[in-house]
Amino acid sequence: MNEAKLPPVTQIAVVSFALVIASGIWIASHLPRHVPIAPSVVLLVLSGLLVATNVLLLARVPDFAWDRFFAVAKWSLLAYLIISALLEFVFVHDGTRGGELVVLTLSLVIFAVHVPLLIGYTVARYPEVYE
């Protein structure tokens, strides 16, 4: 597989992570006072669109090493779901409620999906190395 044929999955993921992190920083900078939630929602929606774009671009790659991708991505997804669940527990235990909790929860979903996608992509993009 030629590197030139692969979509910019890593670059899109970095922008997506930056948007999610900026959204979380916006919320954290206002807590425990009232949080203007609109900027965080906009950043979260943009990040979600980038995740969807990454999935669609990756799904369209011909002859991609999907067996290797899923072999790695499924275990990293499990790990990141556990990490996200622990962080969600911390948010709830700390008293985060309402719109802030929804935005932070959706940010964790993006985190839990995009990192395993990146890890699986990183392994599967060079299948000839592992043969």
pLDDT, tens digit, for every residue of 43-77? Answer: 999 999 999 999 999 999 988 999 999 999 999 99
Q: Check if the beta carbon of residue 23 is closer than 8 Å to that of residue 40.
A: yes
Rg of the chain over Cα atoms, rounded to whole angstroms, equals 17
The pLDDT of residue 1? 47
Helix spans in the chain (H): 9-30, 38-59, 66-93, 98-124
Neighbours of 122 (CB within 10 A): 14
Tell me which residues of the chain have a pLDDT lower than 50: 1-2
The pLDDT of residue 95? 87
pTM (two decimals): 0.88
Q: How far apart are CA 80 and CA 117, in angstroms?
A: 11
* Residue 118: closest CA among 78, 77, 88, 83: 77
Q: How far apart are CA 10 and CA 3, in angstroms?
A: 13
The pLDDT of residue 45? 98
Query: Which residues are CB-neighbours of 126 under 8 A, at least 6 positions away?
Result: 1
The pLDDT of residue 34? 87
The pLDDT of residue 99? 92
Q: How far apart are CA 74 and CA 78, in angstroms?
A: 6
